[in-house]
Structure 1
Amino acid sequence: MLQTIKNISVTYDAINPSNTFTNGDLLHGRVTVELAKDAKIDTLFIKFKGKANVRWSERHGKRTVVYHDKEKYYKSEQFFIREHKDNDHFGAVLLKNEAGQPYCDVVAPGTHVYPFTFQLPQQNLPASFQGAWGYVSYFLEAKLSRSMRLSSKAKAEIRYIPMPDMTIPDLMTPQYGTKDKAMKVFTSGNVSFTIHTERMGYYLGEGIKVVAEVQNNSSRALKPKYSLYAKYSFFARHKRRLHTNEIIKEEGEPIAPSTNQTITKVLTIPPSLDMSILNCRILKVEYRLRVYLDVPYASDPEIKFPIVILPLPQAKEQAAPSAPAIGFAGYWNPGEAGWNSTPYTAPPPPAYESYALYPPLPNYPGKS
């Protein structure tokens, strides 16, 4: 038996080479519906949503406990075709065709294109992110409903990178720390060192300049070491799931005994890092700079600073008319419980194809 709805898809226009969107951008796209025969459509709409979701499980004795939470950021709906009796979407925009007339709910066989435009919110929302136990996602979803039939859906994900948030307290304030340690057992004397950095906030690809003043009054040569690592925190039901990942690890030349020395080290932030996420209730992406002296056979004196990774400001460049549309095509499935999709394979943005710095674990929740 020939299916009436052959295909439904959502595509959108890229506005820059990295295919990202930021605060206030206009998102132009279209819903394409392909019909095999005449169809009476009750509802056809497109919605744009943003949300965060975390989920993981733990074994407690013989019980498996699932920890889950979600946070919604944004939702906007636009209708092409809508039933008069539909009160579930009160206040949603009803779009019209090029002639300024409502779209007809009886649609002929063939391919039909329904254009739409959304404006992203002006306020800073958490950046798109995918981690081991949670994600932040922004997406378009189209839904076509007919009487006495299962709905047809299609979905397209948007990568959102907010403008740099310069309101974070102490973001551009220099950081300073000091540490003293008395040597024991295999090393005698003491050591003290101070660390200076120019500020707490840095852009992707920028260098962190670290100035260390070391007074090595011990009996051994000590080697300064530097580490930048990420902290991924997921929160649900008053519990936290934590994952750390070392991004940069470098070391300096040994500092001889009875020596005072000032050392300058520049650590370059990889341009592919996730930006810091500090404005989400259920997940956080944080960074720490750790500077320490490697003391043989003893605990290492160390100093830690918070580091905020900022996105590069988005250039408001317009995509060329021939820029590819990007999205997902959905197919009507008689047994569907959600949506079924085949993605358009777009060229990956330079050095930022993966949001995560580590692969999802087996219990990573699917997006729903």
Structure 2
Amino acid sequence: MIHQGDHWVKFNMHHDRVKSLDIILSNEEKSGYCPGETVSGHVVVEVSSVTNITCLRLEVRGLAQVCWNEGPQREWLRSSTRPSLAQQVKAEMDCLSISQAICEPTDSTGVISLNAGRHEFPFQFELPSRPLVSSFCGRYGRVRYWITALLHSIHHPQHSVSKDFLVIDHVDVNSPLLLCPLSKNGEKMIGAWIFTSGPISLKVNIERKGYCNGESIPIYAEIENCSSRLIVPKAVIYQTQSFLVGGRTRCCRQVVASVRGNHIPSGCSDSWNGKNLKVPPVTPSILNSPIIRVEYSLAVITQIPGARKLEVELPIVVGSVPYDDFSRSSSISSQHSADLSWLTLTLPELPEAPPNYADIVTEAEFEQHVPSSPSSSCPSHQHQCEELERQLGRPLFAYMQEFRFQPPPLYSELDPNPLAANGCSST
């Protein structure tokens, strides 16, 4: 077996006609595959002369493995005669198993003849839609997915090559459980008995529980220092790896990101109004495996000289499906679509149309302002009035009264005479 990069190639080097065997994925730059996605590529076989093969198969495996040594790690009193008491604890769990034939004989001979040269055999398979454990490599365990191509020939041993690929499980931070805000308080009294100098109080809030890689977490905190010491606050993101086998547990905890605040002297306080802490590129939370768990938490810590630190810790989830503020707003508005009466309270009222002339002018006012009828002795004047009414499309007196009794113009924010308003009239 020969290791080539992330490939493992196994074949007999003596009188073997197969020069190389390789697996090439269609999208080599893809960071990872999610459940339900299709993985495609081709197997490359290069032979030096005519070679008869019986089958070319593809095996896809996913495996979670845990292993550690428990007990004393050194020999008793440095004596080589006493055996080590260390006990190995290990467990495995299958995550994925797919098998398919890429190339099989189509005639009664049962063989496929490959001429000398390079041959490519395409393949594709679909990952199951069920939840899969994300790829992971930790101190005491790992989750690994790989593809193995098996080449069977007649007169030569089986050839195989393996290639790893990453799987990222769906962890949607838009789920209702991960959109809830979190809050926690903490307090610590400095000193003992009659030598107490005062408490240090801490209150921390975050807007939601789920975040993705590259996203910043706004931290809201109130820190009050009533002690006699100078304190230094900071925020960190912890990653906790848990490995479980038969009731036994091994845990590893490490800081993956941190940000420091300003010093707070004695008798002073400080507020964080959205101090940002960026989530680094880490493995998403693994919560669906019985033997491996990867969890995250956000902690705000105050370092106190001469005393133990005060720490407030909030659990968070690192997901793979990013936060969608637009869809969240759309879902909220769809929930209130049945009752939109609240919306009219915020909309400005439309301007009313001018009132009808007949509605605001009484008949007495109308008779009072009606002009006297032209004298019948003046036919030319009567002819002019009739011609004007024909052009206006209405009686002449109605046209004049409409302008006389018209309401004032609508209010406008724009000044029609800006120069006159500023005292800069041109007159």
TM-score, normalisation: structure 2? 0.63
Q: Which runs of 4+ in 1 moved over 4 A?
A: 101-104, 166-169
* 1:166-196 CA distance string (max 9 Å, x none): 4877311111101122221565122222111
Q: Is residue 212–residue 319 contact of structure 2 (8 Å, CA) maintained in 1?
A: yes
Q: Using the alignment, how far apart are the partners of 1:192 and 1:201 within structure 2?
A: 26
Paired amino acid for 1:225: K
Q: What is the aligned-residue RMSD (CA, Å)?
A: 2.8
Paired amino acid for 2:237: L
**Which residue pairs with 2:264 in the alignment?**
255
1:45 aligns with 2:57: yes
* 1:27-52 CA distance string (max 9 Å, x none): 11112222334444333201222221
Q: Using the alignment, how far apart are the partners of 1:291 and 1:237 within structure 2?
A: 34
**Which residue pairs with 1:327 in the alignment?**
none
SS of 1:41's equivalent in the other structure is: strand
**Which residue pairs with 2:277 in the alignment?**
267
1:111-130 equivalences under 5 Å are 111-130=118-137
* 1:210-259 CA distance string (max 9 Å, x none): 11112322223332222212112222233222222212233211223333
> What is the CA distance between 1:19 and its match in structure 2?
4.1
Q: Using the alignment, how far apart are the partners of 1:103 and 1:153 within structure 2?
A: 23
SS of 2:313's equivalent in the other structure is: strand
* 1:82-126 CA distance string (max 9 Å, x none): 69xxxxxxxxxxxx8xxxx89962323323322111112223312
Q: Which has the higher contact order (CA 8 A, sep 6+)?
A: 1
> What is the CA distance between 1:267 and its match in structure 2?
0.7
1:111-150 equivalences under 5 Å are 111-147=118-154, 149-150=156-157
Paired amino acid for 2:16: Q
Q: Using the alignment, how far apart are the partners of 1:26 and 1:164 within structure 2?
A: 19
* 1:261-285 CA distance string (max 9 Å, x none): 4223211112x22222111221122
1:1-368 equivalences under 5 Å are 2-14=15-27, 17-60=29-72, 62-81=84-103, 105-110=111-116, 111-147=118-154, 149-166=156-173, 170-185=177-192, 188-264=197-273, 265-270=275-280, 272-311=281-320
Q: Is residue 41–residue 105 contact of structure 1 (8 Å, CA) maintained in 2?
A: yes
**Which residue pairs with 1:357 in the alignment?**
none
Distance 1:58 1:245, change over 3 A: same
Distance 1:236 1:35, change over 3 A: same
Provide the identity percentage.
27
TM-score, normalisation: structure 1? 0.72
Q: Using the alignment, how far apart are the partners of 1:260 and 1:124 within structure 2?
A: 46
* 1:34-76 CA distance string (max 9 Å, x none): 2334444333201222221122223446223111111112211
Q: Is residue 187–residue 219 contact of structure 1 (8 Å, CA) maintained in 2?
A: no
* 1:292-331 CA distance string (max 9 Å, x none): 2222211222111112111255xxxxxxxxxxxxxxxxxx
Greater helix share, 1 or 2? 2
Q: Which structure would you say has the larger Rg?
A: 2
Q: Using the alignment, how far apart are the partners of 2:142 and 2:89 within structure 1?
A: 14
